[in-house]
Amino acid sequence: MNYNLVSVIFGVLAILIPFIGLKFFKKASIVKQLVFLTASLILYDLAAGIQILKFKRIAEIGVHEAIIDTAGSVGKNIIVLIVIVALANFYCISARLLKRKEKTTKETK
């Protein structure tokens, strides 16, 4: 199993899912956007978990040098991914809330 490829796919999906929810469900409620936020965070967790499984597999076959060589970069990549996922989710939720606020202010006028 190619752990890196699966992890990258899950990471990219974790970033894209909130934008898909924002784009294709424009008239949906905030609850649907929260479903996309949850799916995004689950995909992030899977991406990070797969990296942990990769380290477990490397440890099982006894190539400890590979763990030492890649641990720093994998840790940094996981932190960067969570920041990007968090910013994407924050942007999409705030955009949805601002649209909702604009809609209610137009209705009250």
Q: Residue 1 — very low, low, confident or very high, per pLDDT cuts 50/70/90?
A: confident
Q: What is the pLDDT of residue 48?
A: 92
Spatial distance between the Cα atoms of 36 and 40, rounded to a whole number of angstroms: 6
Whether the predicted model's global pTM rises above the 0.85 cut: no
Instruction: For residues 68-84, give the mean pLDDT.
Output: 91
Instruction: For residues 85-100, give the mean pLDDT.
Output: 86
Q: Is-contact 82 11, C-beta < 8 A?
A: no
Q: What is the pLDDT of residue 93?
A: 85
